[in-house]
Amino acid sequence: MTTSPDMAAFVAGLPKAELHVHLQGAASVPTILELSRRYPEAGLPLEEDELREFYRFRDFDHFLSVYMAVNELVRTPDDVQALVEGLGRDLAAVNVRYAEVTVTADSHLLAGMDPAGVAEALTAGRAATLARTGVELAYTYDINGAHGLPGAERTISWAERFPAEGSVGFGLGGPEAGAPRTAYAEAFTRARDIGLASVPHAGETTGPQSIRDSLDALGAVRIGHGIAAAQDADLMAELVERDVVLEVCPTSNVCTRAVDSLEAHPFTILREAGVRVTLNTDDPGMFDTDLNREYEIAHEVFGVDRSGLVDLARESVRASLAVQPVKDRILAEIDDYAAATQPE
């Protein structure tokens, strides 16, 4: 199937929510070039074609090493705020009304930023985005599995001490192999105690066990990626039973080589098993995608029709950690849009 101009326009106008997008990975190519020219000593590409080449990933570990290198370009709370505001503008342009942005606060702390300043930058960037675009931003803080328990401690104690406005979730990213989800149970308990929902990455590059561990040890209400569940019918049944939502990011999985191709992506297997699935971008600046493109892929490659795309948009709102009035407002906008765009 191809996306007709009509369908592309339909997707573009559809109000949507984005539940899985990393702050640094979202930064557009021009934004990263601006930072790499500001900090040339970081040795990152200074020209667009070189940066695009730099963003061709050999495998997941290579992706993570590039991701960490790009992190070196974010040095001050003002840089953090600029990334938030840039992301807010990009989200508004694709009709995202609400987004949960994953912030790896520990990277900023390790770069020597003032901990209170990081939280203030997030609060200010969120307020500026709301005022300028109407897009509601919320934040999830992910532990980087590469930094082990000390990184977990730094992340949760920062979230406890410096709560930015809009803080809603707590996650676990970076490498899955060698970072067993169970090791992080204590940090997630503390996160839940301060009202942050558990939304770890799991089942992206390792098997179903990482998803089971996330449910049992981390109290996950959603799973970042979770595509390995498709290998295990019992686990899919458990996800349905527990009403756990997957944050699926198709283009990301191809770019990091977590799956061989879009055609080989288990999106349809998961949905046919009744698992709640949302569409997301993960790192749109690095993967040259946006949320409209992911919806187009759902249509083109996974055969989802217009009403299925509307259902996916509704699911992203329902599965979000937004307060009910925000959910109700966006769901009503989606309903109005669906009614107004009914083909005759």
Query: Among 15, 77, 173, 285, which residue sits at the site for ligand HPA (rule: CB under 6 A)?
Result: 173
309 vs 16, 95, 176, 226, 266, CA distance in Å?
A: 10, 14, 30, 20, 17
Cβ 207 to ligand HPA, closest distance in Å?
A: 15
Q: Which is nearer to ligand HPA, 123 or 280 (CB)?
A: 280
Is 282 a binding residue for Zn ion by CB under 5 A? The answer is: yes
Q: Of the residues 204, 238, 294, 296, which is catalytic?
A: 204
Q: Which of the residues 191 through 220 are near Zn ion (CB under 5 A)? A: none
Is 282 a binding residue for ligand HPA by CB under 6 A? The answer is: yes
Q: Which of the residues 77 through 136 are near ligand HPA (CB under 6 A)? A: none
- Compute φ and ψ for 197, nearest 5 degrees: -75, 150
263 belongs to the catalytic site:
no
The pairing of strands 96-103 and 197-198 is: unpaired
> What is the size of the binding site for ligand HPA (CB under 6 A)?
10
Cβ 64 to Zn ion, closest distance in Å?
A: 11
Is 283 a binding residue for ligand HPA by CB under 6 A? The answer is: yes
Q: Which is nearer to ligand HPA, 10 or 67 (CB)?
A: 67
Label each residue of 72-97 as H, E or C.
Answer: CCCCCHHHHHHHHHHHHHHHHHCCEE
DSSP letter for 196, please.
P
Cβ 336 to ligand HPA, closest distance in Å?
A: 33
CA 51/CA 95 separation, integer angstroms: 27
Is 174 a binding residue for ligand HPA by CB under 6 A? The answer is: yes
Cβ 10 to ligand HPA, closest distance in Å?
A: 28
Is 212 a binding residue for ligand HPA by CB under 6 A? The answer is: no
Q: Which of the residues 22 through 51 are near ligand HPA (CB under 6 A)? A: 22, 25
Is 247 a binding residue for ligand HPA by CB under 6 A? The answer is: no
Cβ 58 to Zn ion, closest distance in Å?
A: 18
Other residues' Cβ atoms within 10 Å of the Cβ of residue 86: 20
Q: Which is nearer to ligand HPA, 102 or 133 (CB)?
A: 102
160 vs 105, 143, 154, 167, 221, CA distance in Å?
A: 12, 14, 10, 10, 20
Q: Which is nearer to Zn ion, 106 or 282 (CB)?
A: 282
- Residue closest to ligand HPA when measured from CB atoms: 173
Q: Give the burial class of 47: count Cβ atoms within 10 A of its Cβ; 0-12 exposed, 13-18 middle, 19 or more buried.
A: exposed
Is 67 a binding residue for ligand HPA by CB under 6 A? The answer is: yes
**Contact by Cβ (8 Å): 16, 167:** no
CA 18/CA 41 separation, integer angstroms: 34
**Contact by Cβ (8 Å): 7, 299:** yes
* Tokens found for residue 104: 């790896």
Dihedral angle computed from the Cα positions of residues 4, 7, 8 and 10, in that order, rounded to the nearest 10 degrees? 160
**Contact by Cβ (8 Å): 249, 282:** yes
Cβ 255 to ligand HPA, closest distance in Å?
A: 10
Q: Which residues are catalytic?
A: 204
Interface residues with ligand HPA (CB under 6 A)? Answer: 22, 25, 67, 173-174, 201, 204, 252, 282-283
Interface residues with Zn ion (CB under 5 A)? Answer: 282
